[in-house]
A = this chain, B = another copy of it.
Amino acid sequence: MEIKIETSARHIHLTKADYKQLFGDSGPTPEKDLSQGDQACTEMVEISGPKSSIKNVRVIIPFRDYSQVEISRTDCFAMGIDAPLKISGDLPGAKIKTVGPMGEIEKDTAIVAKRHLHLPPAEAEKLHLNNSDNVSVEINTDRKTTYSNIVVRVKENYSTSIHLDTDEANAAGISGETSGELIL
């Protein structure tokens, strides 16, 4: 079965309080609808580790009850941060400094996101998959790759797609939206 694959660039989820500390009373300003019901904002932060900083990291809304920075392993080496591989939403992450125009925060919020498959309940039932199951996907490019340990995440408003990070997309020779062969 062919399945949609999307690539997540580095981004940040924020609590309302952390947002306020970084941006004061302006925004957030949604700019683009994302596939799973979230929105990317015009607001961006700079993230910083012992070795270097990365600018233009996009704020994603709606606000959450935790703040979390999702970065690639390549970003980790560049910044000197050893962020754990975790499902988006799991904490704690590694300590990272986040700088906005009005202030900064330094918390254990940095993770590398585990590959995952978003599924709405009806689709999960059709595929006989449950939340936390693992699947694989074969990506048939000139850098042909099969990724396994892709965690299934079932939720009402999800649309069916696998999310990879930029390292995984680059290693498999894909960019933008593409598709692969789902292996159950």
Contacts and interface: CB of A to CB of B under 8 A. Distances in A.
Interface of A: 72-74, 77, 85, 114-115, 142-149, 165-168, 170-173
A170 B173 contact: no
Contact of A167 (B147, B149, B171): B171
Nearest to A84: B142
The residue in A144, A171, A173 that gathers the most chain B C-beta atoms within 10 A of its C-beta is A171
A146 B172 CA distance: 10
A171 B171 contact: yes
B172 A171 contact: yes
Contacts of A168: 143, 171
A144 to B, nearest CB: 4
Given A166-B74, A167-B167, A173 B142 contact: no
The residue in A142, A166, A170 that gathers the most chain B C-beta atoms within 10 A of its C-beta is A170
A146 B149 contact: no
